Amino acid sequence: MQILWLPLAQADRIKDLTNVQGVRANQLIGYGLVVGLDGSGDKTNQAPFTTQSFNAMLKQFGITLPPGSNFQLKNVAAVAVSAELPAFAKPGQKIDITVSSIADAKSLRGGSLLLTPLKGIDGKIYAIAQGNLIVGGFGAEGRDGSKVTVNIPSVGRIPNGALVERATPNTFASSETIIFNLHKADFTTAKRLAYSINQLVGPNTAKPLDAVSISVQAPSDTGSRVEYLSLLENIEVMPAEAAAKVIINSRTGTIVVGQNVRVFPVAITHGSMTVTVDESLAVSQPNPLADGQTVVVPETAIDVEEELVPMFKFAPGPTLDDVVRAVNEVGAAPGDVMAILEALKQAGALRAELIVI
């Protein structure tokens, strides 16, 4: 049984609690071909689009195959290429890419990705990918059909495999204010964050807009704004204490109890009954003068054992330590603790949100 509790809140930097609105990464995706595989590529009859893509590539180089040509491309695989374009990425910079097989290629190990454009959600090309793959998994197969696979050989990565061709627009330098968005919505934390900024910079500089966003006046000059933001993001703020929650993972038996969980006066007893049924076979032997036969007679023994668990009582307003100590003294198993907590919630004695995952 694992019972964990959350520590008391400590001051955190604004940069650890928030992100700046408009400063975000963008997802890119593309379709390409990986060549140079050792016979582990797509099967032509199963993935006809691989052959079509290969033919289209050859046409770009002035090579036209005879109509009706049927050939096997065992060393070619059609792949999806994905990447994340960081905020403020400029043309000429390089980003990492992930290459994933989209057909029936057994492995991409040893392959090279051909020139592949990466597009954003707006359909524009933001990066160009190409390079040799690094594949962490591998597989081996025997003639009798037996095979072994380690990790996932159909997915690989290329560090710095894409060259940025277009910068993404952002509103960081054009807006009149900087807006901080909290990672977790909380009215108290938003208020404290605005108060901390106003204490350092001046009154009415920061204003909470809701439980997530805090608007801060900022200089219009880009250089001054960068220096200003560097100052703000290092201000320490005491985040609000989390709401009272008890989180139960029924698969692993992990129970996490929040610091503000309270239990009102209640008496609890939780026991279990064990019923044991033991069946055996006995031989029934008749008397020597009796006209009978030796037979096998089943015998059943039933034993009922009830575990005697003493009732324990929570005093008014016990703390988290009291709850954990009482449960540990009873020696309850994870399943028993879950049942006790659920019963406390149903009885209205547990003042916390009970979450089962």
The domain spans of the chain are 10-22+172-237, 26-164, 243-357
Mean pLDDT across 343-348:
78
Contact present, 104 and 46 (Cβ < 8 Å): yes
By DSSP bridging, strand 2-5 and strand 254-257 are parallel
Q: What is the pLDDT of residues 126-185, one digit of tens each?
A: 999 999 999 986 666 655 555 666 678 889 999 999 999 999 888 787 888 999 999 999
Among 62-76, 148-162, 191-205, 326-340, the range of highest mean pLDDT: 191-205
Q: What is the pLDDT of residues 37-73, one digit of tens each?
A: 988 888 866 778 888 888 888 888 888 877 766 667 7
> What is the residue type of 290?
A
Contact present, 284 and 295 (Cβ < 8 Å): yes
Higher per-residue confidence, 66 vs 111: 111
d(CA 248, CA 254): 6
Higher per-residue confidence, 136 vs 198: 198
pLDDT band at 187, cuts 50/70/90? very high
Instruction: Give me the pLDDT at residue 6, please.
Output: 45
Longest CA pairwise span in the chain (Å): 119
- Lowest-confidence segment of 51-60, 132-141, 276-285, 305-314 by average pLDDT: 305-314
Mean pLDDT across 223-232:
91
pLDDT band at 220, cuts 50/70/90? confident
Span between the terminal Cα atoms of the chain, in Å: 16
Whole-number mean pLDDT of the chain? 81
Instruction: Give me the pLDDT at residue 304, please.
Output: 47
Higher per-residue confidence, 10 vs 19: 19
Coarse DSSP helix, strand, coil percentages of the chain, rounded to the nearest 5 percent: 20, 40, 45
Which residue, among 122, 126, 118, has the nearest Cα to 79 in the 3D structure? Answer: 118
Question: Which tokens go with 229?
Answer: 């933001």
Instruction: Give me the pLDDT at residue 29, please.
Output: 97
Give me the percent of the chain exceeding a pLDDT of 70: 72
Mean pLDDT across 184-203:
93
Instruction: Give me the pLDDT at residue 19, please.
Output: 92
Mean pLDDT across 193-220:
93
Instruction: Give me the pLDDT at residue 2, please.
Output: 46
Contact present, 97 and 30 (Cβ < 8 Å): no
Mean pLDDT across 103-116:
91
- Is pLDDT above 80 for 311? no
Residues in contact with 50: Cβ distance below 8 Å, sequence separation at least 6, in sequence order: 33, 41, 42, 44, 73, 76, 77, 78, 103
Burial (CB < 10 A; 0-12, 13-18, 19+), residue 266, is middle
- Is pLDDT above 60 for 4? no
State whether residue 308 is helix, strand or coil: coil
